[in-house]
Amino acid sequence: MIKKNFTKTPLDNWINHKIGSASAFLTRQALAEYQLRKLQETIDWAYQHSPFYHAHLPEGVKKKLNCLADLSQLPFTTTSHLEKQGLQMLCVSQGEIQRVVTLVTSGTTGQPKRLYFTREDQELTIDFFCQAMSILTKAGDYVAILLPCERQGSVGDLLASALERLGAQPIKQGIIHDLEETLQKLIVTQANVLVGIPIQMLALAKFYEASHKQAPLALKRILLSTDYVSEAIIQEIGRILNCEVFDHYGMTEMGLGVGIECCAHQGYHMREADLYLEVIDPQTGRNLPLGQVGELVFTTLTRKGMPLIRYRTGDLSRILPGNCPCGTVLQRIDTIRSRKVGCISLGENNFLTMAELDEKLLVLPGIIDFTATISYDAVFILLHIQLFLLTDYSTIDSLKKSAVYDVLERIDSIRLANDRRQLKMKVEFLSVGTEFSPKSSKRAIQVLVQ
Ligand SMILES: [Zn+2]
C-alpha cells in the first residue's frame, strides 16, 4: 500500500500565532500556559460581569484556578441553565449583541436556548471558518453552502464571509427544500465544494444516484456539519458522489465551529485557542482519562458576550490517544457518534441510539430518511419506524419490509429486547417526491409519553 503524506492543517500555525507564542512551532506546553491564562481571564470576566456566573461560581474563584486540572472543581453549566437564565449569562449590554441565535430544544423546561454573540465573537467564528475551510478549499473554488444563510450572522452567512477571504466563491443556497432544485443549481453553478447537513447530503446523493447519474457534477470535496454523523452516511455520500468527505464538529453554543478533520480523517482537530475541552463521566460528572468515551464539556476562552464555563454538550466522544499522521500537536476528538439525549431505554440496562439506527437503515437502497418513535405500554416497548423512500427510486419495489426487520435485528439492543420478548416493532414505508427534504434539526428518537 502506498503511504500517503499528510500535511499539517493551517490550524497549528494559526493557533500558534493566536496564543502569541515566541516559538516557530506550536507546542503543547505553550498552549497549556495560554489556556490556563485564558481560563483565569474568562472566569474572572464572567464572575465580574454576568449575574448568573456571579451567583453560580464560588467566591474568589479566580484564585482557585492554579492549574488546568483545577477547573474540574467548578460547577457545570447545563442546557437547563441556558434555557432558564440565558439572559443573566450575558457579560455585556444587550446593545453590544450583534446576533442572537434561538435553538428549539427537546429539553425539559420547554423554553428555547438563546445564544448571544458580539461582533468580536462573530469575527472569531469567521476566522476559524477561514482556517478550517482552507483544508478543503482553495482560491477560485465554487463552494455551495447548503446551510441556513438567509440572516445576517447565520452560520452560512459567516461561512460565506470566510470563503471570500480565502478567495473562493461562496454560493449561498440555504438548506435543501427541494432535491431537484438543489441538484439543478449544483449542475448550473458547477460548484466543486459543498457544505451541508449530513442527512440532507445523503438524500441529495441518493436522489442524484436515482435520477441524474449522467448529469455532470463538478464536486470534489464535501464538508458535513451541524449534526453527529454515522460512518454509514460518510461512506454512502463519498461513494455516490465520488468525493472526499470531510467532517466538521460544530455547535452553536461553542461559536459554531469546534473542530475539523485533516486529510488523514482521524478525528476532529480542535480549535484549542478558543475552546478548552474536558471529557467527563455523564453519570458522576468526574473527568475521564485520555481515550475514554464520555460527555464533552467545553469552556470558551475568548468569548466576550456570553462566555460558557464547563458547558455540558450532551455529545458523547473521546479524545483520541496517539498522534495524527499529519503531525498536529492539537487534541483530536473522535467523530461524534451519538448524543447522550439520544439514548433510549429498551428495558433494563439496554439502550438504543439514533446513531445505531442510522448505521443500519440509511444504507438501505432508496431510503433518504426515517423517523423512529418509541412508546411504552403496560407490557411492551413499541418501536415504530417510518422510512422515507423516493417515489421514482428504481429499487422501491425490491426493498422488502422483511429486509428492514432483518437489519434492525442486527442491532444488539433490539436483539436483546426481542429475546426478552419486550419489543414490538412496526415498519412503515412512505413514498415521497423530490420536494421532500430531511429535517435540518438534530436527529433523535422520539419518545411518546402516553
Ligand atoms: Zn491530522
> Are 151 and 196 members of one domain?
yes
End residue of a domain, out of 302, 319, 340: 340
pLDDT at 431: 86
Q: What separation in Å is there between the alpha carbon of 431 and the centre of ligand 1? A: 41
CATH number, domain of 79, equals: 3.40.50.12780
* Pairing outcome for strands 423-432 and 381-390: parallel
Same domain (yes/no): 439, 395:
yes
Q: Are residues 388 and 327 part of one domain?
A: no
Strand, coil or helix: 383: strand
Cα of 262 vs centre of ligand 1, distance in Å, is 5
Specify whether 391 is located in the same domain as 435: yes
Average pLDDT rounded to a whole number, residues 354-360: 88
134 CA distance to ligand 1 centroid (A)? 14
Do residues 57 and 46 make contact, with C-beta atoms less than 8 angstroms apart?
yes
Q: Which amino acid is at 3?
A: K
Q: How far is the CA of 11 from the centre of ligand 1 (A)?
A: 10
User: What pLDDT digit, counting tens, does each position of 215-272 carry?
Assistant: 788 999 999 987 777 888 899 999 999 999 999 998 889 988 999 999 999 999 999 9
Q: Is 309 found in the same domain as 292? A: yes
Does residue 332 share a domain with residue 268?
Answer: yes
| Mean pLDDT, residues 11-34 | 95
What is the pLDDT confidence band of residue 339, given thresholds at 50, 70 and 90?
A: low
Lowest mean pLDDT among 149-163, 237-251, 337-351, 401-415: 337-351
Segments forming the whole domain that contains residue 227: 136-251
Q: How far is the CA of 7 from the centre of ligand 1 (A)?
A: 8
The DSSP bridge partners found for residue 77 are 311
pTM of the model as a whole: 0.88
Mean pLDDT of 401-416: 93
For residue 127, tell me if it sits in a domain. no
pLDDT at 107 over 60: no
Q: Are residues 68 and 149 in the same domain?
A: no
Alpha-carbon distances of 74 from 213, 278, 299, 396, rounded to whole Å: 55, 12, 11, 54
Residue 425 inside a domain? The answer is yes
* 171 and 210 part of one domain: yes
Alpha-carbon distance values, 188 to 167, 179, 192, 201, 216 (Å): 20, 14, 11, 18, 9
Does some domain include residue 130? no
Q: Is residue 86 part of a domain?
A: yes
Same domain, yes or no: 21 and 118: yes
Length of the chain equals 450
Instruction: Report the separation in Å between the CA atom of 34 and the middle of ligand 1, taken as the mean of its atom positions.
Output: 22
pLDDT for 120 equals 96
What per-residue confidence (pLDDT) applies to 1? 47
**pLDDT higher than 60, residue 30:** yes
Gyration radius from the chain CA atoms: 22
CA of 136 to the centre of ligand 1 (A): 13
Q: Which residue has the higher pLDDT, 340 or 262?
A: 262
Per-residue model confidence (pLDDT) at position 214: 66
Question: Among 192, 219, 251, where does a domain finish?
Answer: 251
Residue 320 CA to ligand 1 centre (angstroms): 11
pLDDT band at 211 (very low <50, low <70, confident <90, very high): confident
Write out pLDDT tens, residues 257-275: 999 999 999 999 999 999 9
- Find the 267 Cα to ligand 1 centroid distance in Å: 7
Cα of 260 vs centre of ligand 1, distance in Å, is 9
Residue 298 maps to a domain: yes
CA 210 to ligand 1 centroid distance, Å: 35
Q: Is residue 201 part of a domain?
A: yes
Q: How far is the CA of 176 from the centre of ligand 1 (A)?
A: 31
* Contact (CB, 8 A) for 130 and 166: yes
Same domain membership, residue 117 and residue 21: yes
Whether residues 140 and 235 share a domain: the answer is yes
- Specify burial of residue 1 (Cβ count, 10 A radius: 0-12, 13-18, 19+): exposed
Residue 229 lies in a domain: yes
Total of domains in the chain:
3
What CATH number should be reported for the domain holding residue 236? 3.40.50.980
Same domain, yes or no: 20 and 169: no
More confident residue, 438 or 323: 323
The predicted pLDDT at position 213 comes to 63
Name every residue whose Cβ is closer than 8 Å to that of residue 433 and which is 6 or more positions away in sequence.
390, 391
pLDDT band at 312 (very low <50, low <70, confident <90, very high): very high
For residue 1, CA distances in Å to 4, 264, 326, 435 come to: 9, 15, 18, 44
Q: What mean pLDDT value characterizes the chain?
A: 90
Domain boundary among 285, 319, 340: 340
- 338 pLDDT band, cuts 50/70/90, is low
Say if 128 falls within a structural domain.
no
Cα–Cα separations (whole angstroms), residue 89 to 45, 53, 96: 11, 7, 14
- List of E strands, 95-165: 97-103, 113-118, 142-146
Q: How confident is the model over 311-327, as a mean pLDDT? A: 93
For residue 46, report the distance from its CA to the centre of ligand 1, in Å.
Answer: 33
